[in-house]
Structure 1
Amino acid sequence: MTRTRYAPDRGLTSRMVTTMFLIGLLYVVLIGVLLAAFQNAWPLVLLFTGGLFVAQFWFSDRIAAYSMGAREVSPQQAPELHAAIDRLCALSDLPKPRVAIADTDVPNAFATGRSQKKALVCATTGLLRRLEPEELEGVLAHELSHVAHRDVAVMTFASFLGVLAGTVTRMALWSGMMRGGGRNGNNQAQILFLIIPLVSAVVYAVSFLLTRLLSRYRELSADRGAALLTGKPSALASALTKVSGQMAQIPTRDLRQAEPFNAFFFAPAFSGNSFSKLLSSHPTLEQRLEQLGRISRELGR
């Protein structure tokens, strides 16, 4: 990874590595089950899973940006946004990402891109209207921290297991239906027809929880990196408080449209069913403010 001035966080990094190891272990287990179930077609299985991963890794960022209606803007179209990103990139030794704006009243920002050179940072019109310059800079520093640590690539890999598990389930069910649900097959076919969807469902559930845990770790790490880079944790805390408070004033329909992309966002877009800490893609506001408060005290000393 290209060295930047974003401060490392060894505690959070170790937890992220542990979570990624567990996700990788689940991936290996699922592939083993898949190969055991389709012994005569293992080359196709490996080709399929490899192709699925490459496609998701290559295009997931574009899909997210397109789905959110992000349009790239020039320095002439958004001079203040470009100026803030220019300052942060110079401060952090990062290559400048593409800059975009999404026309929505949901106050948020996100970063996409599988590498630092392919990154795109997007702010919504709702965010630009609500934040002061220092607050906006804190949010953009948070998103650039994701870029610096290649969090989009990490989360794409982590979420791939869940996609694969769902695909395996559909393949197994389709194969079972083609065989008449095993009515005319042998006992082994019937057992596989029952076991494969069950294993896939369990793997999907566990990978989903681990991915959400990993997402919460990376959000705390991005907050910390942004606060230390700018030296203004209070500005980031103010932006967090303001954005979280303004979410309640956004129409529920708009929040539900944005919620599938919570993993990319600076703050989650709640629609009423996302308040569970276990299932949330972001740590609670209290956890984030507590960490920023500690950093502020450390910088004060």
Structure 2
Amino acid sequence: MTSYLKTSILLAGLTALFAGMGYLLGGQGGMMIAFLMALGMNVFAYWNSGNMVLSMYGAQEVDAYTAPDYYGIVQQLAQRAGLPMPRVYVIQSDQPNAFATGRNPENAAVAATTGLLNMLSAEEVAGVMAHELAHVKNRDTLIMTITATVAGAISMLANFGMFFGGSHGSNEEGRGGSPLGWVGALLVAIVAPMAAMVVQMAISRTREYEADRIGAEICGQPLWLASALERIHQGVAHYRDPQAEAHPATAHLFIVNPLHGGGMDNLFSTHPNVENRVAALQQMAGYGGYGGGYHQPPASPWGAPPRGPWN
């Protein structure tokens, strides 16, 4: 099964889960309403989710005049990848991290936090931005932003079910109220969000390894990205991002899980384990894997770290 087919099945499962929650809360009528809501949200997310996520994090657009080094790195990488120039954003956050969004390569955007731009070398920033452009090239950004929208809606519906679902009993036709009463409400409130989280994380983890591989090819040096992942992972452990903590459904968009306590490579992790990702990149570079003697990335033409108004 290809990764794209697997992702499509998982995304369909997430939409079906939302419709199933509607059935547990309101019978057949509730299921139909939830299904129509899911379709509506997918259409809305297709056109607007990218800008919504950028707005959610207070991202500020920059250009060749306001952030020449950072913008220039993205510009060179986009040319190497054969992609249109994306919009480039900066997020005010001490936590080093980055993400890409947009419904297609022609309407894509990449965003990096001030923490990332201040902490990483130019080579490491190039590795990170190449990873994000790989998501754009693979058209992962649309899938991932729609996933965030539907997962957020499932959480909202779960909260509704916790307070109101159990108070409505089923009727004879099964069309009004929860067919399972308080049991259905409990399933909606507890089990459904957990199932949504598992599906969401499976989608993210399916795409991250591929973006690492293609990102390494775009920048030409797998070790730049490997080094960046290690430094970002360490930075995330020291700096919390209040916006990410307030919107956990968007965690899978970032190159490294921005939520504290989410670094384990298990069923409930939004990302593959950083050590596993670094090992894969080191193998690409011809080294023996994680722990086999780390090598500094080779020098690049970019020189000093990116500078801009955030410094």
Task: Provide the TM-score with structure 1 as the length reference.
Answer: 0.78
Specify which of 234, 250, 275 is matched with residue 245 of structure 1.
Answer: 234
1:265 CA drift (Å):
1.5
Matched, 1:59 2:56: no
Contact 1:115–1:150 (CA under 8 A) maintained in structure 2: yes
- The reply on whether 1:112 has 2:101 as its aligned counterpart is yes
Kept in 1: contact 2:7–2:206 (CA 8 A): no
2:134 to 124, 145, 150: 145
Q: SS of the counterpart of 2:99?
A: strand
Q: How far is the alpha carbon of 1:76 from its aligned partner?
A: 0.7
Q: Are residues 1:191 and 2:189 paired? A: no
CA distance change for structure 1 residues 55 and 171 in 2, over 3 Å: closer, same or farther? farther
TM-score normalised by the chain length of structure 2: 0.76
Of the structure 1 ranges 69-78 and 47-56, higher mean CA displacement relative to structure 2 is found in: 47-56
- Corresponding residue for 1:6? none
> Match of 2:262?
274
Partner of 2:286: helix, strand, or coil? helix
Aligned to 2:298: none
Q: Which amino acid aligns with 2:212?
A: D
The DSSP-based 3-state class of the residue aligned with 1:110 is: strand
- Alpha-carbon distance in structure 2 between the residues aligned to 1:146 and 1:66: 20
1:255 is matched with 241
- Tell me the residue number matched to 1:17: 5
State the number of aligned residues: 278
Distance 2:237 2:17 in 1: 42
Once the two structures are TM-superposed, the CA of residue 165 in structure 1 deviates from its matched residue by 4.0
**Structure 1 pair 205–230 and aligned structure 2 pair: CA distance change class (3 A):** same
Residues 19, 210 of structure 1: 8 Å contact kept: no
User: Matched residues in 1 for 2:237 and 2:166: separation?
Assistant: 46
Task: Say if 2:60 and 2:90, in contact at 8 Å, map to a contact too.
Answer: yes
Aligned 8 A contact 1:240 1:267 in 2: yes
Structure 1 unaligned blocks of 5 or more: 1-12
Letter aligned with residue 247 of structure 1: V
**Larger helix proportion, structure 1 or 2?**
1
Contact 2:73 2:126 in 1 (8 A): yes
Q: Distance in 1 between matches of 2:90 and 2:9?
A: 35
Q: How does 1:278-297 map to 2 (within 5 A)?
A: 278-297=267-286
- Tell which deviates more after alignment, 75-84 or 168-177: 168-177
Cα distance change of structure 1 residues 46 and 86 upon mapping to structure 2, 3 Å threshold: same
Measured at CA, do residues 95 and 47 of structure 1 come closer, stay the same or move farther in structure 2, by a change above 3 Å? Answer: same
Distance 2:162 2:237 in 1: 42
In the alignment, which residue of structure 2 is the partner of 1:130?
119
Residue in 2 that maps onto 1:182 = 169
Indicate if the aligned counterparts of 2:166 and 2:182 stay in contact, CA closer than 8 A.
Answer: no
SS in 2 for 1:191: coil
Q: Root-mean-square deviation (CA), in Å?
A: 3.1
Alignment of 1:95-106 (within 5 A): 95-106=84-95
2:195 counterpart of 1:235: no
Q: How far does residue 235 in structure 1 lie from its aligned partner after superposition? A: 1.2
SS in 1 for 2:112: strand
Q: Sequence identity of aligned pairs in percent?
A: 31
Aligned residues of 2:198 and 2:268 also touching (Cα < 8 A): yes
Give the letter aligned to residue 119 of structure 2: R
Shift of residue 234, structure 1, vs aligned partner? 1.1
The CA deviation at 1:209 is 0.5
Deviations 1:58-90 (A, max 9, x none): 333222212222101121111111211111111
Cα distance change, pair 16–27 in 1 and its aligned pair in 2 (3 A) = same
Do the aligned partners of 2:151 and 2:200 also contact (CA within 8 Å) in 1? Answer: no
Equivalence for 2:213: 224
Instruction: Choose which of 31, 34, 37 in structure 1 pairs with 2:19.
Output: 31
Distance 1:243 1:234 in 2: 14
Q: How far apart are the structure 1 equivalents of 2:270 and 2:29?
A: 39
- Deviation per residue, 1:175-217 (Å, 9 max, x gap): 764xxx439x669556343464355454432231121022122
